[in-house]
Chains A and B, each alone.
Chain A
Amino acid sequence: MTGPLELDRLSRRFGDVTALDGLSFSVPAGQVVGFLGPNGAGKTTAMRAIFGLTDLDSGSVRWAGAPVGAAERRRFGYMPEERGLYPNMPVAEQVAYIGRLHGMDARAAASAASGWLERLGVADRAASKVGSLSHGNQQRVQLAAALVHDPEMLVLDEPLAGLDPAGMDAIGEVLVERAHSGHCVLFSSHQLDLVEDLCESVAIIDHGRLVASGTVDELATSGPRRLVVRVEGDREGAWARAVPGVRVSEVNGGEVRLVLDQGADSDAVLDAARAAGRVTTFTFERRRLSEVFREAVSW
């Protein structure tokens, strides 16, 4: 992946813990990029580094080829993992204030704030104090605060955590729309199914290093092949466990999902299945993002 935002060999240690270990990747414009990794992989540290919120031991963050400075950050939008808003400040005033800190004049900030609150379905709470809102609504306000100044790049740390399906849809829709209008959108998540639906590309990190990246399509069609087989009379897929070069990744409603090693022969699998009973399903499938993730982070 190439794109305007480049993270170049970022390293950061906290005492004995290595949070970032030469992490490099780019974020292209025009697509939603998912940022994945197990807990403690360094996702939050990397995102904070983009905003200069953590010191780096080495490495640099560049935007359009130039090091990111205060002026660039003004044109970025950020939604941190641990949400941060003034609990006693009215919603609309708070969103507008953050817009002003990003360089908007008072009138533009106020109208953008009310526009985004409307769009995210919290316009009726514009005069309420943030602390009085539900978790889901606070999250929407937080997103509005990240979007109010129409940023060229949006960085969101776990934007979907703790949301109901309607909230996820509302936020997901906004992210896709932002990306398709030519902006950079990078967000981290643990909900891999959702990432698969929303993202065109992903970057997967583990132990502070990049372990996989590319478009979801590329990643799904690369790597070990998947076979889904149903054999009548053997709902547990016991027949498959003896086939060399084949691993059963899951058994679901009588169907077994198999991972084929590089050298494994699908004909041999078919023969083994037929020997066990009547074969009613025999389909090659794409890797799911969750499988890409597990294989990349060596679970």
Chain B
Amino acid sequence: MSKLPYVVVIAVVAVIVRLGLRRRARARTPRPGAARAGRRPRPVLGDTGLVAAREIRERLRGRVFWIVTVILFGAVAAAVLIPALRGHGTASQRIGVVAGSAPLDAELRALARGTGLSVTITTEPGLARARAALAAGRLDVVVDGAGTILVDKPVSPADTSAPARYVRAVSEALGAQRAFARAGLTPRQVATIAGARPVPVASLQPARKARTTAETTALLGVILTFIVLTQYLTWTLMGVMEEKASRVVEVLLAAVRPIQLLAGKVLGIGAVALAQAVALVAFALALAEAAGSSLVHGAAPLVAAAALGWMVLGYAFYSWLYAAAGSLAERQDQVQSLALPLSAPLILGYIASLVSVSSGTPSLLVTVLAYLPPTAPFAMPVLVGFGEATWWQFALSMALTLACTVLVALAAARVYRRAVLRTGGRVRLRDTLLGARAPARGGTPSPRGLAR
């Protein structure tokens, strides 16, 4: 049972990667005239693979990558462990009773059940000893049968934690009992009043349920997706821009096609992103398992797998756009204005999904965004977390995103091919997208488009 989530995650990732690779390998059909091509059999992915391998080496070489990785692992560890530890901390309250009685103990236990706490009740010989135990942290609350409640730190009326509610409930109950006693009620009457139960309140709207662990996983998935996407998409954009700015792209394009260079960069950086995300998710699940966190139970692993799958799709969709944007720029200061319009839908999807998870209900906005490729990577995992997406809805959204990714990739390759060699100022998108002239790649002019 415990190994299952990992196996599922790894299997899904492996299938996606394999499918991606096969699609690319098939796309590389040799041209008939190129019979004299190689002095060696080309590697599996050809030049695209070489470019991708260089990207991976380059990223792993950078110090930034390792710093970010350490920070992400730290953040994941904190996100998993802190709730788990807090859960342990509030699970049991130690109550010291001075001058108590069996009915008082029974009352204290009943109130604890009412606030969802478990309590350990010890009888203290005197108030001074009890006070000392409280100060030393051996007790959480001291209840004096004579009519006082002692705590270490003041309890704010605004504090809604279970221990705070418990202290307030004990204080009110003891106060009421003393009042009943002063009123001269018989024990029987006191018992009847103490056993009073509130009249149920019915509402027209259904009650809002507490957040499930699947929703928490979805929340973490959305945050992780956002961090990973913004990080690696920026690298893609900067990487393309730097190749253009350093003019190394001229040397590279003298040997390989623009589409190979572009695809290699997208695949290479994507592979690093995916590896990091898989490592983070595996780490989170393993840690949650070890710490006894509820994150590994129920639908949570499935939601984690869905979030990871959508991260891959999100990267696939956006990476082409960011790479094309990078080819339009030549300097750092041009990057800002190019990245902003691209990051807007990303941020919209992220914020809308976050708000939806926090509010505990899938809003109409998120339900719509789950089918739009730019925002689906955030919104769809949230719907899965809420248990609101059927398999076919999930598949439909994926198909839509994949189809749009292909279109975006084609347009991006066109922009990239036309812009990356054009130096001396920012290239306008219109010029690259609408330019109708057929390129003559040294040979006769032909209407060959992107696939040079």
Contacts and interface: CB of A to CB of B under 8 A. Distances in A.
Interface in A25-78: 48-61, 66-71, 73-74, 76, 78
A78 B35 CA distance: 22
Q: From DSSP, what is the main secondary structure of chain B's interface residues?
A: loop
A55 B440 contact: yes
Contact of A71 (B37, B250, B251): B37
A61 B36 CA distance: 18
A173 interface: no
A80 interface: yes
A71 B246 contact: no
Nearest to A68: B442
B251 A49 contact: no
A85 B243 CA distance: 8
Interface in A97-123: 97-98, 100-105
B50 A70 contact: no
Interface string B321-363: 0000000000000000000000000000000000000000000
B144 interface: no
A175 interface: no
Interface residues of B, number: 40
B31 interface: yes
Contacts of A3: none
Nearest to B57: A93
Contacts, number: 117
Contacts of B440: 55-60
B39 interface: yes
A261 to B, nearest CB: 43
A54 B251 CA distance: 13
Nearest to B256: A101
Interface residues on A, range: 35 or more
B253 interface: yes
A58 B445 CA distance: 7
Contact of B445 (A56, A85, A97): A56
B41 to A, nearest CB: 9
Interface string A274-299: 00000000000000000000000000
A53 B39 contact: no
Contacts of B31: 69-70
Contacts of A73: 254-255, 442
A53 B54 contact: no
Interface in A75-91: 76, 78, 80, 82-89
A52 B441 contact: yes
B40 interface: yes
B33 to A, nearest CB: 6
B251 A145 contact: yes
Contacts of A53: 250, 253-254, 421
Contact of B246 (A61, A84, A103): A84
A67 B444 contact: yes
B206 interface: no
Contacts of B33: 66, 69, 71
Given A69-B33, A82-B247, A89-B58, A55 B439 contact: yes
A52 B37 CA distance: 17
A52 B452 contact: yes
Contact of A83 (B247, B255, B442): B247
Interface in B434-452: 437, 439-445, 452
Contact of A51 (B38, B54, B243, B442): B442
14 contacts: A52-B254, A56-B445, A58-B445, A61-B443, A68-B442, A73-B442, A80-B247, A82-B247, A84-B250, A97-B54, A98-B251, A103-B38, A104-B39, A145-B251
The 5 lowest CB-CB distance pairs between A and B, nearest first, are A84-B247, A67-B443, A84-B248, A52-B441, A56-B440
Given A55-B439, A58-B445, A84-B250, 17 more contacts: A53-B253, A55-B440, A55-B441, A56-B440, A56-B445, A69-B442, A70-B34, A82-B250, A82-B423, A83-B247, A97-B50, A98-B251, A100-B50, A101-B252, A103-B39, A105-B40, A146-B251
